[in-house]
């Protein structure tokens, strides 16, 4: 068991940002499923506790649990829910990395989830159709984040073709339009919150791609914030202070050098005094040579 955990840890560390996001989602899902089983063995229900990690539609509830704007995008309702989301995340995440950086992927995943969550809450509190559902609705899943990645990639490479089962080659721009169009059509379905969040994520991804094409990186702030938060929990190794150790021979060399320089300086001063008093002709050949050498230094 320890070997398996170590191997998974190594794969996580070696994997790119897309793989790491999938690992995080899978780990959260497995932990929650195991917790459900444990609670059921004691005839307890975990749903009440999980509501503190899911995004509520009510602004009043959200005020008590603002962290859910981040936590909800790493949670899933069931095996098929996480399976389809992770497949889309893998396919389009790897494609995204061909046109953008790894930090952009991390940033747009988080921003897409935030954008989708905010639009979900706003829509449920603005449109009268959703009024009866506000107090009893919660959002979870990575769909908004994934749609942000899809939209950004489709904007960056609209004519890039991908192969779809039963449909053959489809350009990204048409695939994105179809997905967004379906979300608009089903905005009043049983999964209305999910479809609204998809639209919010897609708009966020589109805004990121448009901004980046004009030289503005909208993910810069959230990446800096994320790095700052992570740095609080991960201690960086201290760099050892550099110490210079002098051996006895080194100190002796320094002493000899300084003594020699002092002796040369005193000799030049003596020759200059003699030159002033008696003139150049009074100097010996060795003194003339020493004076000449000193003038060249």
* Gyration radius of the chain over CA positions: 35
Asked whether residue 287 is assigned to any structural domain, the reply reads yes
Please say which residue of 233, 264, 285 terminates a domain.
233
Asked if 249 and 236 touch (Cβ cutoff 8 Å), the reply is no
- pTM attached to this predicted model: 0.76
Locate 292 and state its tokens. 């000449």
Asked whether residue 211 is assigned to any structural domain, the reply reads yes
Please check the confidence at residue 237 and state whether its pLDDT lies above 70. Answer: no
3-class state of residue 16 by DSSP: coil
pLDDT tens sequence across 184-196? 999 988 899 999 9
pLDDT tens sequence across 16-25? 899 999 999 9
Q: Say if residue 228 is in the same domain as residue 253.
A: no
Q: Say if residue 119 is in the same domain as residue 143.
A: yes
CATH of the domain at 132: 1.20.1540.10
Q: Say if residue 262 is in the same domain as residue 161.
A: no
Q: Say if residue 164 is in the same domain as residue 256.
A: no
Q: Say if residue 177 is in the same domain as residue 272.
A: no
Asked whether residue 238 is assigned to any structural domain, the reply reads no
Distance between CA 130 and CA 135 in Å, rounded? 10
| Cα distances (Å, whole numbers) of residue 112 to 1, 118, 200, 233, 239 | 36, 10, 7, 25, 37
Asked whether residue 239 is assigned to any structural domain, the reply reads no
User: Can you tell me the mean pLDDT for 212-230?
Assistant: 90
Asked whether residue 108 is assigned to any structural domain, the reply reads yes
The per-residue DSSP string of 255-267 comes to HHHHHHHHHHHHH
Q: For the chain, what percent of residues have pLDDT higher than 90?
A: 63
Q: If you average pLDDT over every residue of the chain, what do you get?
A: 86
User: Can you tell me the mean pLDDT for 72-97?
Assistant: 95
Domain that holds residue 259: 249-296
Domain count, the chain: 2
Please check the confidence at residue 71 and state whether its pLDDT lies above 80. Answer: yes
Q: Say if residue 283 is in the same domain as residue 217.
A: no
pLDDT of residue 281: 66
């Amino acid at each position: 068991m320890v070997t398996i955990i170590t191997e998974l840890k190594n794969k996580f560390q070696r994997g790119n940002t897309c793989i790491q996001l999938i690992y995080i989602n899978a780990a959260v899902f497995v932990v929650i499923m195991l917790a459900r089983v444990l609670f059921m063995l004691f005839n307890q229900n975990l749903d009440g506790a999980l509501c503190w990690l899911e995004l509520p539609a009510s602004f009043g509830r959200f005020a008590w649990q603002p962290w859910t704007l981040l936590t909800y995008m790493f949670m899933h309702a069931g095996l098929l829910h996480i399976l389809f989301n992770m497949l889309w995340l893998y396919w389009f995440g790897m494609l995204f990395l061909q046109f953008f950086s790894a930090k952009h992927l991390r940033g747009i995943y988080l921003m897409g989830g935030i954008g989708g969550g905010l639009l979900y809450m706003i829509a449920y509190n603005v449109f009268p159709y959703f009024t009866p559902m506000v107090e009893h609705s919660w959002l979870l899943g990575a769909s908004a984040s994934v749609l942000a990645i899809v939209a950004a990639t489709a904007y960056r490479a609209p004519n890039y073709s991908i192969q779809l089962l039963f449909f053959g080659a489809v350009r990204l721009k048409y695939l994105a339009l179809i997905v967004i169009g379906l979300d608009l059509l089903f905005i009043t379905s049983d999964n209305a919150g999910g479809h609204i969040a998809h639209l919010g994520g897609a708009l966020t991804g589109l805004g990121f791609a448009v901004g980046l094409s004009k030289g503005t990186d909208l993910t810069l702030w959230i990446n800096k914030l994320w790095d700052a938060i992570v740095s609080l929990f991960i201690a960086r190794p201290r760099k050892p202070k550099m110490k210079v150790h002098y051996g006895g021979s080194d100190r002796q060399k320094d002493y000899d050098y300084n003594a020699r320089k002092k002796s040369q300086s005193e000799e030049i001063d003596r020759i200059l005094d003699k030159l002033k008093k008696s003139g150049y002709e009074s100097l010996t050949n060795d003194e003339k040579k020493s004076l000449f050498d000193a003038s060249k230094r």
